[in-house]
Amino acid sequence: MPDQYRTLARAGVHETEINKSRFICALAPVASETEAQDFIARVRKEHPGARHHCFAYVIGAEGGVQKASDDGEPGGTAGVPMLQMLVRREVRYVVAVVTRYFGGIKLGAGGLIRAYGGVVGETLDALGTITRQRFRLVTVTVDHQRAGRVENDLRTTGRAVREVTYGAEVRIEIGLPEAELDAFRGWLADATAGTALLEVGGEAYGDL
């Protein structure tokens, strides 16, 4: 697993017109191929009169799943340049759909490649990207007397407090970079006089 990956900051749409053809690019962050296919289907329904709905998506932190479709455009002139733009920008867990309303003027293979790849790049610029960091899920169990101060210290030092559960004791779940785990153990022992329990869970990606 890579330590981090870049993905789309938010879903959105950007449109450009080239020689009277409208190119409408819809981008969305997706967690799986199923979500990507569902998004593509929704865009098709939104533009039933369009001639082409070309798409590309990259799934996986390492970009392990990559697919593209020209949807009736000449082979290699639409889906491939869209996919190449996503890969070149190093974005993951993202789907792009470009809907084309033909304007009556043929663009040629080179023109189509520039149009489809270009509108994806423009849309990425408009929506922006964010970086997801790999971290370890860690749960701190501490008594009620110390819990408030521990939680406050975690938040003020910028720790990603994900959930706090109150019961007989207080469980605080945080996200922690792997490299900081040993130092965190030492800090927690000092902060709670060795009374807190630390459980190390699995790995995930998110904002830290």
Question: Does residue 49 contact residue 84 with C-beta atoms inside 8 Å?
Answer: no
Percentage of the chain modeled with pLDDT above 70: 99
- Reported as a pLDDT band with limits 50, 70 and 90, residue 203 is confident
Buried b (16+ CB within 10 A) or exposed e, 189-204: eebbeeebeeeeeeee
Domains and CATH numbers, the chain: 4-127 (3.30.230.30), 132-206 (3.30.70.240)
Whether residue 207 has pLDDT greater than 80: no
The DSSP-derived string for 109-122 is HHHHHHHHHHHHHH
**Residue pLDDT, tens place only, 11-23:** 999 999 999 999 9
Q: Is the pLDDT of residue 10 over 70?
A: yes
pLDDT at 67 over 50: yes
Render pLDDT for 75-87 as a digit per residue (tens, 0 to 9): 999 999 999 999 9
Strand bridging mode 170-176 / 65-69: unpaired
* pTM (2 d.p.): 0.75
Can you read off the two tokens belonging to residue 55? 């798409």
Q: Give the separation between CA 142 and CA 4, rounded to whole angstroms.
A: 31
pLDDT in the model for residue 3 = 81
pLDDT 10s digits, 119-171: 999 999 999 999 998 889 999 999 999 999 999 999 998 888 889 999 999 99
pLDDT of residue 62: 92
Angle between helices 108-127 and 79-88 in degrees, nearest 10: 40
Looking up tokens 């996919």, which residue turns up?
Answer: 83
Instruction: Give the separation between CA 82 and CA 26, rounded to whole angstroms.
Output: 12
Task: Tell which phi-psi region holds residue 177, choosing left (phi > 0), alpha (psi between -120 and 50) or beta.
Answer: beta
Please tell me the predicted confidence (pLDDT) of residue 208. Answer: 46
- Of 57, 90, 92, 73, which Cα lies nearest the Cα of 23? 73
pLDDT attached to residue 134: 86
Mean pLDDT estimate for the chain:
93
DSSP 178: G
In Å, how far from its chain's centre is CA 74? 30
Contact 163, 150 (CB under 8 A): no
Q: Give me the pLDDT at residue 124, please.
A: 97
Using one digit for the tens of pLDDT, what is the confidence trace for 170-186? 999 998 888 889 999 99
Residue 135, burial from CB neighbour count under 10 angstroms (0-12, 13-18, 19+): buried
